[in-house]
Amino acid sequence: MSAEHSAPVPTVDAGSALRRGRKVRRRRLAVATAGVAAVLLGSLTVGLLRGGGPAPVQPAVPTPVDRSPLTLGARFGWLPESTVMLESEWSTITSLQTAVSKENGLLQLIGSDSEVDPWSTASRSPGDESQSREAAPKVNGRDAYWVSVQGMPTRIELRFRGSDGRWLTLVDMAMPGVDRPVMLRVAAAVQSGAYAVQVPVSLDASTPVSELNHVIFRRSVGGPDTWELSLQLRVRDNAMAEIEAGTGSEPTDQARARRCAHGEGMWWCAAPAPLNLGAAVAENDVQVWFDRLTAHGRDESTWRPLMLPPR
C-alpha cells in the first residue's frame, strides 16, 4: 500500500471545466454511436483523486468485482499540478483514465490485459512503422521505454509494466508542466488491479437493456467536488439510449424526448442518444428507461458499482 500526494488545489472554476468536458463528451458519444453499426463499444470510469491534500490510500490487491462492467484495471495515484479534471473510460477496445488541464491538455493512462511487450513483432499492428523506441529508466524496478511517433514531436509516450505484470501506456498530449521526469513520477504512482467503480445511479432489473455501449465518469480535481456521469445503452433493434447524471446545471441542449429530474444537489436524465443509427427512439422508450432509473444522491456512501439488468 502506498500514499501519494495529489496536486495542489487549482485556482480554476471546476464547474466550467465540467461544462467544457460535457461538450467534448458529446462529440465522443457521437463518434461512438456512429461506430455501433460496426462494433459495440463500452466504456468505464473512475477511481478518482481530488487535489488539495493526500490522495486516498488504495489497496495493493484487486477488489472483487461481481458482474459490474465498470471496473478499472489501472488508475492514477499522483497527478501534476495542472490537472483540473479527471475522467475515466473503458471499452472493449481499450480502457483509460485522462487527466485534463484548464487548457484542455491531456495526460492519458491506457490499460491493457496483456503481459506481452506491445513492441514485440507478434503484437505490433500496421502503421507502427512510424514509431521509434528509446530506453527509459525502470518504473518501480520494472521494464519501461519511451515511444516517439513520427510527425508528433510534442507527444510523449511511456510504456511500462504495472505491478501485476500487464503493460500500461502513459501518453502526454500538451499537458502543461509535464516532461519526462514528471511522466516517470506519474507512472511510478500508477495503481494496477481490478477496482469496482462506485456510481450515483442504478437501473432497475426490469430495464430493457441489451448492451452497455459507453460510460464516462468525469470529476473535478481540487476545489468544489463536482462530477458528471454518462451511460450510453443499446436497447431493442440497436436503438440507443443515453443516461446522464451530474451536479450543477442540467444539460441545456435538451432533446425533445429528454426526461429529467433533480434533487439532493444532483440531476439525472434519460434521452435518445445523439446520432442514433438504429431503430427510432420514441418518447415512450425514454420514459421506460427514466422510470427505472434510481439516483442515490451526492453521499458517496450510498453509491454502488453499476450493475446492469440481465439480458
Residues 36 and 29: their CA atoms lie apart, in Å, by 11
C-alpha cell at 275: 446520432
Phi-psi label, residue 65: left if phi above 0, alpha if psi -120 to 50, beta otherwise: beta
Mean pLDDT of all residues belonging to the chain: 74
Band of pLDDT at residue 100, cut at 50, 70 and 90: very high
Band of pLDDT at residue 5, cut at 50, 70 and 90: very low
pLDDT at 240: 81
pLDDT at 180: 95
What are the distances in angstroms from CA 292 to CA 43, 103, 184, 204, 245?
Answer: 21, 38, 45, 5, 14
Q: Of 100, 46, 11, 62, nearest to 231 (Cα)?
A: 46
Yes or no: say if 86 and 35 are a contact pair by the CB < 8 Å rule.
Answer: no
Range 237-254 average pLDDT? 80
- 3, HSE (Cβ side, Cα atoms, 13 Å): 5
The pTM score is 0.74
Whether pLDDT at 79 is above 50: yes
Count other Cβ atoms within 10 Å, centred on residue 288: 17
